Amino acid sequence: MIVDITEKSTIIRRASASGVLCVSPTVVSEVHEGATKKGDVRNSASLAAILAVKKTPLSLPHCHPIPIEGCNVEWQEVENGLKCVVTVSTTSKTGVEMEALCGVSTALLCAWDMLKPILKDSSGQYPDTKISDITVISKLKIPTEN
């Protein structure tokens, strides 16, 4: 079932989500320098985030397909790795939190995939790599003028 939102008002909605790919400072440096074999990690992962935001209802069947009017992806180098923040905006009857969460999750997965050759240990495992702290950091609703 998809929740009926027919009676809800169309308003401006914005949500931001963030998460961290926990990696060593050496890996962060390689990303910063663009020295990875698979190319620019942040650029590729940002594109993956945007695609995930646009396709959220295909992954989460209870989400309404809504017009995505804005999507911004930012990266920060943090003490324990690479932090991604995805902000999504729309003018719609339902929010964009799930879109922001899908975007940040996909960006971090894409980054991990691109970094696999330098993240694996000698037995092919990832003992020091994890994705953490995925959360909605803000949600905004602004009524539109009629």
Which has the closest alpha carbon to 38: 102, 103, 100, 119? 119
Residue 113 annotated to the active site = yes
pLDDT digits (tens, 9 = 90+) for 60-106: 999 999 999 999 999 999 999 999 999 999 999 998 999 999 999 99
Q: Break the chain into its structural domains and give their ranges.
A: 21-143
CATH numeric code, 21-143: 3.30.70.640
Q: Find the mean pLDDT for residues 114-135.
A: 95
Residue 126 amino acid letter? Y
One-letter identity of residue 73: V
Q: What is the mean pLDDT of residues 118-145?
A: 93
Which is the catalytic residue, given 113, 121, 128, 133?
113
Model pLDDT for residues 25-66, shown as the tens digit of each residue: 999 999 988 878 999 999 999 999 999 999 999 999 999 999
pLDDT attached to residue 146: 59
